Structure 1
Amino acid sequence: MDWPSKPYVRDLEFRGYVEGLTYLDDNSQPLCHFFGGIPYALPPVGANRWRRPRSLAPCFRYGTSVSPGKYTGNCGLCPQPGFGEDLNEKSWDEDCLQTNIWIPAGDPPEGGWPVLVWIHGGFLQFGTPRDMDLRAMLRETSCKAIVVTPAYRLNVFGFLASPELASLNTEFATNLGFWDQRLAIEWTWQNINYFGGNASNITVGGYSAGSHSTFHQLAYDLGVPQSKSIIRRVLMLSNGPGMQPKSLDEVQEQFDELLKALQIPTTLSPAERLEKLRSLDAKALIKATIGLQHHQFRAVTDGSFVRQGLMNELDSGVFARKMRERNVKIIMGECSNEHFVYGQWHPPKNTLDSLFQRLQADYPLSACKALVKHYYSDGKLPKNCKTWKDAFGHMYADIQIHHLERGMADALVRHGAGDLLSRYRIEWRAKCCDKKWPKNWGATHGSDMAIWFWGNGEKLGAEEKRVVREAFHDKLGRFLRGEDMHWGTEHPLHIRRLKPDGTVVCEADDRLERGLEVWKVLQHVGATGGSHKARL
């Protein structure tokens, strides 16, 4: 980040001293403060690859007053495929359990700045908090909060699973990406006051897979005792709760496929297989995963981080009851044209069978069969799609975002938690988005990051700033502070809609019926509840 800055040293009391940066404007006035790559856990490398993240020791110090720990760089980049499967291994670092921290300039309010723990997206396969730029937001807007942006383990490093390896107990753990995120949230809760933050006012949010992660972090937080609960509000932007993740038995096929690709004999014991996997370098592991049929490494229902029957807690009302007890509020919504970007991620070949196979990389087989039967009962390409790749993009966006988000919203409303929910749809995008996405894609996946983060490093025009401020940004600031947003909707299932011309209307959701129809299809096969007793 080669931006005008000067050193910024902060005393973290018993954690020692850290040196970050104060970013400056053209007149050398402070925009905000920044710390990059502060460890929140010990390195998950060597024998600790595929183990739960380990907390820093109570005696851990980041630096001294004479020699402060220098955190002016960035988080480590978990090894990963690029969006186009381009391997840039020169910048990889498995020692990635670190976080960036953005702090408003000036004195904090009484009690400290509100805090947002922001979880980056990337299908849980790639991504980084390195691409955040909050200088303009923290200087120009009323949305003043400390923003903590942790890195976490991804793809095979964060979500490898098999019942054989799970049997090794402390030697191996599942859902590591989620455990990393949780430890980052706990680290924030324990330490953010030293940075001027209010540990009792923490919002957790994310975009895309970060939004999906946010749902699972909320679910986990609702399952701990009130004394250990951290999350006060959540932002679920452009992703929903998903389905009940595959069981350990269901991911065995992926694990066997990975072993074959890496030429690891199946005759070895589980401990020997794990030792072989740990001996391989990151590039070999990533290259092997790219060619798998089951190439998506996602959460599993392990009964530890992800509960059995988790999704049924939504349908039964258990989830809503816990949210009501703790008064956890949600902003949740979508862009209108998410499918353009979603259709680019490992798209199928131009056949229905290829689409069916592609879905199995993400979802349980029973859900894939139910979806194909529902969407393509006659086996023909839908009229609104030119290719099966187009059809996949629409369906993938429906399941990841549009439809299951509506199922969750409906469940919360039915069980008395509707007043905790604020929903939106974005159909407008800033001109700066033209640098990244074709104009005809409109408000596609990711284009609204310029709204939520005030350009996120790109410049907004004067009229664009007015649209962004009035539509959402001032309300986001109030949300983070815990104030009434005055969302404008008359019913919790209605949406606040930013139209293509920049105007805002609050109205009924014309996609709700279709979303609930698909939710019920998946509910029938147990993918969104209905097959297990709810526990929380």
Structure 2
Amino acid sequence: MATIAGPAIQNLPYVRDLEYRGFVKGHTIISKASGDELCHYFGGIPYALPPVGVFRWKHPRPLPACYRYGTRGDPADCTGKASISPQPKSTSPLVDEDCLQCNVWIPAGKPPKLGWPVYFYIHGGFLQIGNANSGNPTALLSESPFKAIIVKPAYRLNILGFLASEELLADSGSTTKSVGNLGFWDLRLALEWTQKNISYFKGDASNITIGGYSAGAHAAFYQLAYDLELPPSKRAIRRIVMQSNGPGVQPKSLREAQLQFDELLTVLKIPKSLLAKEKLERLRATTAKSLIDAIPRMRLHQFRAVTDGVFVRHTLFSDIVDGTFGQKMLMNNIRLLTGECSDEHHVYGRYYAPGEIFDSVISRLEADYPQRVVTALSKHYFPEGKLGGKYKSWQEAFGKIYADVQIHVSQRGFLDGLIKGGGAKLIQRYRIEWRSELADLTSPRQWGATHGADNILWFLGDGHSLTNAENEIIRSGLIDLLAQFVAGQESSWGTRGPLQVRRLNTDGVVDSWFDELWYDKLKVWDSITKASLEQKVSRL
């Protein structure tokens, strides 16, 4: 059996001079057994001003030119953790609306001549929950070939990060006429902070890989989509890692987002007859806790991206479908590492699970997706509105549909678009069917390789000890190649063409798997993208 105790470590002060930004104090993490330096860590470094008070639901504000973290004699204490965006069911003392901070992990030892490669890693959680403190990369940085600075940003989630409405659009004061997507704007500012400051941490600002798990992968895609539209001098991303998620579908229009905003007002007993300014004043005067407590009482309880015409372009998904997006990735040589687990649906089926009737499943899907897309999903999976013999329950059906839209279908649709654009050579894929014993800490064993069960693999134990056998499986199967990818090195993936996938099978053996799901999942993709692109998107 694998043990769950991590290696014995101690922390020693570690100070970095950020030049015009001042000084920060973090930790050097040292093995007690050997005395070796394992890595360096800084936690809770602000990358933006607090988005609180009148700045709630405003674009993040960069740190002013005069901002200093600390002095040489009194460096800013960055030995803790990043604050956590308010979210349902969280009791952590770190929960704070002032959460625009990041954690930085640095390999020990001498960096390469140009500096360490940089991995800008976004945490998951449906864009509703999660935090930048999850995932301990100490073993990854010290016991594997993975040698890159890891930047883990916190960002606004759920109602605080993705609320959108006509009232907020009018209030934005932005010349870009953007609304919603504030969590994405937060991440963009964190990425720009990284690009400007990572050299002070011995990183190479010209060698940034963006990536993430689950909603983190979803957010990474939208960061890439935004980045590719910028002038070359302002682009930051060289490669992208998308673990267990994809682009999804073209996000809701402002008209559909308005329905959610109006429902929130009703739940909070704020009259919709008030002037727009008065509505926002009442909402900004409401405590973060009261806002979060309102979410489970809403039918449209998932706060996601909106097609605003700025961060999320109206033509984004048509560009994916016809190969235009793939052409842009090819022109900029943006390589993609992406993959899935075989049993993703078990976790998805239990997140805000619907009742055991057809209408409940439809209502639940409408919390996430445009109504036209939900109608297309209904026709594809349940043409007669009945469960049929394919699923044991409506909850299981929902979990598999949700996993399809977020992962299995949208990943393959995205890849198909890259192939159309000539970008097949950019793609490296994996599939995980094997389950570590440590996954029992987070999910029942009978769920197999479910969503999130592999998180512990990507962080090489995530602070827990692995058996030698499992360490070898994870290293040779996944981590060694991830390290090469993030470093920008060529690697022997063991596959040919985008329909061949590097698979870690149920026995922990690596083989090459032909994607037998490809054509069936593309049928679903064709159906939902057609419906998505037909929706009348409000032009902002």
Tell me if both proteins adopt one fold, taking TM over 0.5 as the criterion. Answer: yes
SS in 2 for 1:130: coil
1:228-262 Cα offsets, whole Å, 9 max, x none, are: 11100000000010100001011111111100011
The ranges of structure 1 where at least 4 consecutive aligned residues each deviate by more than 3 angstroms after the TM superposition are 529-533
SS in 2 for 1:370: helix
Gaps of 5+ in 1: none
1:295-347 Cα offsets, whole Å, 9 max, x none, are: 00000001111111211111122111111111000001100000000011101
Aligned counterpart in structure 1 of residue 471 of structure 2, from 436, 455, 465: 465
Indicate yes or no: 2:145 matched with 1:142. yes
Give, in whole Å, the separation in 1 of the partners of 2:36 and 2:480. 23
AA aligned to 1:141 is S
Aligned counterpart in structure 1 of residue 322 of structure 2, from 316, 324, 331: 316
Q: 1:530 to 1:232 in 2, by over 3 A?
A: farther
AA aligned to 1:143 is F
Partner residue in 1 for 2:294: 288
Asked whether the equivalents of residues 50 and 173 of structure 1 are also in contact (C-alpha less than 8 Å), the reply is no
1:160-188 Cα offsets, whole Å, 9 max, x none, are: 00123212232894110000000000000
Partner residue in 1 for 2:271: 265
SS in 2 for 1:62: coil
Give the stretch that moved more between structures: 328-337 or 467-476. Answer: 467-476
SS in 2 for 1:405: helix
Indicate yes or no: 2:122 matched with 1:157. no
Asked whether the equivalents of residues 249 and 529 of structure 2 are also in contact (C-alpha less than 8 Å), the reply is no
Indicate yes or no: 2:308 matched with 1:305. no
Indicate yes or no: 2:261 matched with 1:255. yes
TM-score in terms of structure 1 length:
0.96
Give, in whole Å, the separation in 2 of the partners of 1:97 and 1:229. 21
TM-score in terms of structure 2 length:
0.95
Please list, as runs of the form range in 1=range in 2, the aligned pairs for 1:16-31 lying within 5 A after superposition: 16-27=22-33, 28-31=35-38
Give, in whole Å, the separation in 1 of the partners of 2:498 and 2:403. 22
Aligned counterpart in structure 1 of residue 516 of structure 2, from 510, 526, 534: 510
Give, in whole Å, the separation in 1 of the partners of 2:161 and 2:419. 33
Aligned counterpart in structure 1 of residue 16 of structure 2, from 10, 34, 45: 10
Give, in whole Å, the separation in 2 of the partners of 1:218 and 1:72. 31
* Shift of residue 90, structure 1, vs aligned partner: 4.4
Partner residue in 2 for 1:56: 63
Partner residue in 2 for 1:356: 362
AA aligned to 2:166 is P
Gaps of 5+ in 2: 1-5
Asked whether the equivalents of residues 10 and 19 of structure 1 are also in contact (C-alpha less than 8 Å), the reply is yes
Please list, as runs of the form range in 1=range in 2, the aligned pairs for 1:169-180 lying within 5 A after superposition: 169-170=172-173, 173-180=179-186
Asked whether the equivalents of residues 358 and 394 of structure 2 are also in contact (C-alpha less than 8 Å), the reply is yes
* Shift of residue 385, structure 1, vs aligned partner: 2.0
Partner residue in 2 for 1:123: 126
Asked whether the equivalents of residues 34 and 103 of structure 1 are also in contact (C-alpha less than 8 Å), the reply is yes
Asked whether the equivalents of residues 382 and 391 of structure 1 are also in contact (C-alpha less than 8 Å), the reply is no
Give, in whole Å, the separation in 2 of the partners of 1:164 and 1:187. 30
AA aligned to 1:132 is G
Give the total of aligned pairs: 527
Give, in whole Å, the separation in 2 of the partners of 1:127 and 1:382. 35
* Shift of residue 8, structure 1, vs aligned partner: 0.7
Please list, as runs of the form range in 1=range in 2, the aligned pairs for 1:315-464 lying within 5 A after superposition: 315-464=321-470
* Shift of residue 404, structure 1, vs aligned partner: 1.0
AA aligned to 2:113 is E
Give, in whole Å, the separation in 1 of the partners of 2:120 and 2:400. 30
Asked whether the equivalents of residues 205 and 214 of structure 1 are also in contact (C-alpha less than 8 Å), the reply is yes
1:83-114 Cα offsets, whole Å, 9 max, x none, are: xxx24274420010000000011111110000
* Shift of residue 132, structure 1, vs aligned partner: 2.0
Give, in whole Å, the separation in 2 of the partners of 1:293 and 1:37. 34
Q: 1:139 to 1:242 in 2, by over 3 A?
A: same
1:179-202 Cα offsets, whole Å, 9 max, x none, are: 000000000000000000000000
Give, in whole Å, the separation in 2 of the partners of 1:72 and 1:283. 27
SS in 1 for 2:439: helix
Give, in whole Å, the separation in 2 of the partners of 1:343 and 1:388. 9
Give, in whole Å, the separation in 1 of the partners of 2:142 and 2:391. 44
SS in 2 for 1:6: strand
* Shift of residue 450, structure 1, vs aligned partner: 1.9
* Shift of residue 458, structure 1, vs aligned partner: 1.8
Give, in whole Å, the separation in 1 of the partners of 2:270 and 2:91. 25
Give, in whole Å, the separation in 2 of the partners of 1:404 and 1:291. 29
* Shift of residue 120, structure 1, vs aligned partner: 0.3
1:109-130 Cα offsets, whole Å, 9 max, x none, are: 1100000000000000010011
Partner residue in 2 for 1:132: 135
Partner residue in 2 for 1:274: 280
SS in 2 for 1:424: strand
Partner residue in 2 for 1:88: 91
SS in 2 for 1:300: coil
Identity among equivalent positions (%) equals 51
Partner residue in 2 for 1:201: 207
Aligned counterpart in structure 2 of residue 191 of structure 1, from 197, 209, 212: 197
Cα-Cα RMSD? 1.6
Partner residue in 1 for 2:3: none
Higher relative contact order (CA 8 A, sep 6+): 2
